[in-house]
Amino acid sequence: MKRWQFWLGLIISIAFLYLALRGLHLEQVWTALQSANYWWLIPGVLVYFIGVWVRAWRWHYLLRPLKPISTRTMFPIVTIGYMGNNIYPARAGEVLRAFVLKKHESVPVSASLATIFVERVFDGVVMLGFVFLNLPELTRLQTDSGFVGNIQNLSIWGAAAFIGALVVFLLAAAFPTTSEKIFEKTFVRFLPERFREKTLGLTRRFLSGLESLRSPREALMVFFTSVVIWLLETGKYWFVMHAFPFQVSFFALMLMNGIVNLATTLPSAPGYVGTFDAPGIALLTAYGVSGEVAAGYTLLLHVALWLPITALGAYYFTREGLKWGEKPETLE
């Protein structure tokens, strides 16, 4: 990563951490963490890994037109990708898992990246769905709720971006020949001749990665599995909540899940430090949870989401014989 990108993410994370912890009594946050019932992490982690397995199944489904690969084979590759997202800046784990997939199954990186972009767009649509489903509740919470009060406007802009991207992908999948011609004309007009052929080849392979969206039935299946994935992740929020002395509804946790994951699309330090924590604490505080308890819960939840998948991904990464400093050489 370029140095300025790292420092930008770090500055944003520090700013969000400041917003998250401002005005809190840190000794009471520590007390909340000390008194938490950590046994509730066990079912939380288990349900989260079921969600990761469903992610592997969804990716298997998206890649099926390119090459049928079992979910069992995909699971370690997915965990490597999420480990990469947690320790490298700018979601570099997405590119990492595309390269690991190429090493394993000889699927072109540009084609597998197309399927990963599709995943992210569907994830964004589901996250926004969680937010919009709870907009009446969110409106009730907006009074004197700081960060939370801006979510409605941010959600509208986010919906326009994600739904717009989804429409582009669906059209590109439905009309691959027309899309290829549009790209070819664009490259002829704007790219130097020496780059055109290679760029067009990459574009063709990228478009081949959208093939699973050509069928409405398959597109609906991708959407359905995306909903299941995020409901399972909300289940982890629900289990971890029971480790602390507060209760909010499952719908409130769906809203929290949608908000914090939309916030983590912002640049940040590796692991989404700050961008995950600040909106989560703000939302729970708006629901009447003590700021210190909300901070303890959100920080523990963040660690519980980060550590197990990162450790398992690092294990699979090492088992693959990959090197931490190894750089990908080609997008072919």
What tens digit of pLDDT does each residue of 285-301 get? 988 899 999 999 999 99
Higher pLDDT among residues 152 and 14, named by residue: 14
Q: Is the CB of residue 159 less than 8 Å from the CB of residue 132?
A: yes
- Average confidence (pLDDT) over 126-134: 85
What is the C-alpha separation between 67 and 330, in angstroms, rounded?
20
What is the C-alpha separation between 312 and 310, in angstroms, rounded?
6
What was the pLDDT predicted at 231?
96
- Helical H segments across the chain, by residue range: 3-21, 26-34, 41-63, 71-87, 93-105, 109-133, 135-141, 151-174, 176-190, 193-208, 216-241, 250-263, 277-286, 291-319
What is the C-alpha separation between 19 and 159, in angstroms, rounded?
25
What was the pLDDT predicted at 235?
97
Average per-residue pLDDT for the chain: 87
Domain locations in the chain? 34-319
What tens digit of pLDDT does each residue of 249-259 get? 999 999 899 88
What is the C-alpha separation between 26 and 24, in angstroms, rounded?
6
pLDDT band at 325 (very low <50, low <70, confident <90, very high): low
> At residue 148, does pLDDT exceed 80?
no
What tens digit of pLDDT does each residue of 17-70 get? 998 888 899 999 999 999 999 999 999 999 999 999 999 999 998 998 889 999
What was the pLDDT predicted at 304?
97
- Average confidence (pLDDT) over 261-281: 88
> At residue 140, does pLDDT exceed 90?
no
Q: Fill in the amino acid letter for 250.
A: F
Which region among 97-101, 108-112, 136-140, 204-208 has the lowest average model confidence (pLDDT)? Answer: 136-140
What is the C-alpha separation between 327 and 323, in angstroms, rounded?
9
What was the pLDDT predicted at 102?
92
- Average confidence (pLDDT) over 157-184: 84
Q: Phi first, then psi: what are they for 267, rounded to 5°? A: -60, 140
- Helical H segments across 71-150, by residue range: 71-87, 93-105, 109-133, 135-141
Q: Fill in the amino acid letter for 59.
A: W
What tens digit of pLDDT does each residue of 63-77 get? 988 899 999 999 999
What was the pLDDT predicted at 29?
96
What was the pLDDT predicted at 80?
96
Q: Rounded to two decimals, what is the model's pTM?
A: 0.88
